[in-house]
Amino acid sequence: MYKIAVFGERDSVLGFSALGLDVYPVDMGDDVREMFRSVVRKNEYAIIYVTESFHEELQNDIDRFKDSVTPAIILIPGAGGNLGIGSKAIDDAVERAIGANII
């Protein structure tokens, strides 16, 4: 049985705890990468939602899990608004499969 985690700034993720998801709020000055790795290492999450604002710092860690079935790491817009990074992930997948972005 797997669980779902939400990782991001406190304001964006706190609400998810009410739905019964495991929430990992990141505060200013935390070591984002170390925190994220410890979440992944727990190995009990099938889906980890990450807010877009941490995309840059966690790029390498996210890419590492692209080809494995678990965990699915999904970018969601945080409290800062929609940055459009999530849709870029789809474009990347298209480019990877076809060799050029045609759609």
Residues in contact with another protein by CB under 8 A are 1-4, 11-12, 14-21, 46-47, 49, 66-67, 69-70, 72, 74, 76-79, 81-82, 86-87, 89-90, 93-94, 96-99, 103
Nearer Cβ to another protein (35/89): 89
**How far apart, in whole angstroms, are the C-alpha atoms of residue 68 and residue 38?**
18
The set of residues, in sequence order, having a beta carbon less than 8 Å from that of 47 and lying 6+ positions away, is: 2, 4, 5, 71, 72, 73, 74
Min CB(7)–another protein separation in Å: 13
